[in-house]
Amino acid sequence: MFELRQDELHSAFGDPVLGSIGFLNEIMSRYPDAISFAPGAPHLTFLDNFDVARHIDTWIDHQVTQRKLSREQARRLLYEYGPSRGLINELVADALRRDHGIDAGPDAVVVTVGAQEAMLLTLHALCAGPGDLLAVVDPCFVGMRGAARLLNVNVVSVDETEDGVDIDGLRTQCRAARSRGERIRALYVSPDYSNPSGSLTSLGARRRLLALADQEDLLLLEDGAYGFTAPPGEEIPPLKALDTEGRVVHLGTFAKVCLPGTRVGYVVADQLIRTSDGGRRLLADELAVSKSMVTVNTSPICQAVVGGMLLEHGGSLKALAQRKSELYRRNLALLLDALDRHLSPEPGQPQAVSWSRPAGGFFVRMRLPVPADAALLETAASDHGVLWTPMSQFYESGKGENELRLSCSYLEPDRIEEGVARLAVFLRKEVGSGRPSGTRTAPPCR
């Protein structure tokens, strides 16, 4: 049998960042009865009564009434290849304007196969040469680091502060890159309850980041995946809504506000490009061209499902996301409450483990006094029936070895309670948390 050698394939294979999702799936499949705080999966309640046919019909009706197509013509749009740019661009652009103050026309939107494809296409377009670097916040969503690895884009990491990216650190990195003859072309940033750390970037820090992008001549690739989970009244405008200079490319996904299985995302790229013949195009035009060589177009059927769902909520992303946002915040509150009850130390005793207290998003970050590595995870799964995600895989710099990520988006309240009870027993036994003496302590966690 003919065999291929791994060292003759792309060097990304074998990189742990590409294997991180597989690693978690593998351990979850070996311990099906464990309560897993690992995946940021949707809650099952949103899968019940998910009426694909009705959503598609809603979208078809809209084509008939708004675009004056016959029913047959509208249906054919679903069954054929479609424009690379997408079919629901206008709906997406309108919703982004109305709900988030992002003022970009449908021609600046490309509908992609998840936010993942949007990341890949954008990086591919922007990082043209070996000296074009991507900066990421440490820790960072593996999807972006994996895309960079596939495209041979070199990555530099910038620390995270209480208020998102360390802006002074980013400035230093930009200057250091220039002195080496390289440039930081873009920073990937997830300002709303980021995955994995759950951090939130304040309005002031968003404005400072935009100013820095202008001063240091870089783009901001903003991932808005978890913005919909902000508590009412605490929403902060996306970077793209604050962007007066065209510095922000906004990446979005319907994975959390509809369902991941739709595989529909989008990119808003309204940057003007001067072409060699003196013409002008949008970055979105170029992304649509490259998309035509990657996935050709995003499934029209899936776009119609998402479009129909949007239309059934008055074309509003906020209305579409409202029930999900409420349920995910409820779960987060239950998780934080259970952690307080099960893991707070006795009065006068040191805090052995610490954890973050995000107001939204899917993720709580916990810090242990010992490495939260694969061996410890195996013990948690086999001896205590509880799973979590080691954070070190999210760090570019190799830090985070004592941290783990807890996610509770898809769990029922009683499973959250039981899972935290198991976690507490595990931590007491294996880590020493909560013991009256000999307790090792972890530094505080944001």
Ligand X SMILES: Cc1ncc(COP(=O)(O)O)c(C=O)c1O
298 binds ligand X (CB under 6 A): no
208's enclosing H/E stretch is helix 203-216
255 binds ligand X (CB under 6 A): yes
The structure tokens 């998402």 sit at 306
Write out the two tokens for 365: 């970050």
Q: Which of 84, 253, 299, 331 binds ligand X (CB under 6 A)?
A: 253
221 binds ligand X (CB under 6 A): no
Q: How far is the CB of 197 from ligand X (least distance, A)?
A: 11
Between residues 187 and 255, which has the closer beta carbon with respect to ligand X? 255
Between residues 59 and 193, which has the closer beta carbon with respect to ligand X? 193
Between residues 141 and 410, which has the closer beta carbon with respect to ligand X? 141
Helices vs strands, H then E, count in the chain: 14, 16
122 binds ligand X (CB under 6 A): no
Tell which phi-psi region holds residue 233, choosing left (phi > 0), alpha (psi between -120 and 50) or beta. left
Angle CA(298)–CA(123)–CA(258) in degrees, nearest 5?
Answer: 40
Helix (H, G, I), strand (E, B) or coil at 438: coil
**Closest residue to ligand X: CB criterion:** 114
419 binds ligand X (CB under 6 A): no
Q: How far is the CB of 111 from ligand X (least distance, A)?
A: 11
Q: Which among 176, 148, 173 is positioned nearest to 159, based on CA atoms?
A: 173
Q: Per-residue x/- marks for ligand X, 134-153, CB under 6 A? A: -------x-x----------
- φ, ψ of residue 102 to 5 degrees: the values are -90, 115
Neighbours of 341 (CB within 10 A): 12
Q: Which of 84, 89, 190, 356 binds ligand X (CB under 6 A)?
A: 190
Helix (H, G, I), strand (E, B) or coil at 31: coil
Between residues 116 and 439, which has the closer beta carbon with respect to ligand X? 116
40 binds ligand X (CB under 6 A): yes
260 binds ligand X (CB under 6 A): yes
DSSP letters for 212-254: HHHHHT-EEEEE-TTGGGSPTT-----HHHH-SSS-EEEEEES
Stretch in the footprint of ligand X (CB under 6 A) among 3-11, 70-78, 114-122, 327-335:
114-122
115 binds ligand X (CB under 6 A): yes
Check: CB of residue 167 under 8 Å from CB of residue 110.
no
Q: Look up residue 393 and give its DSSP letter.
A: G
Q: Which of 42, 82, 86, 114 binds ligand X (CB under 6 A)?
A: 114
Q: How far is the CB of 443 from ligand X (least distance, A)?
A: 25
267 binds ligand X (CB under 6 A): no
Q: Are strands 403-407 and 363-367 parallel, antiparallel or unpaired?
A: antiparallel
Check: CB of residue 155 under 8 Å from CB of residue 396.
yes
Write out the two tokens for 366: 């916990």
Between residues 115 and 123, which has the closer beta carbon with respect to ligand X? 115
Q: How far is the CB of 265 from ligand X (least distance, A)?
A: 4
Q: How far is the CB of 118 from ligand X (least distance, A)?
A: 8
Q: Which of 174, 225, 302, 321 binds ligand X (CB under 6 A)?
A: 225
**Positions that interact with ligand X (CB under 6 A):** 40, 114-116, 141, 143, 190, 195, 223, 225, 253, 255, 260, 265
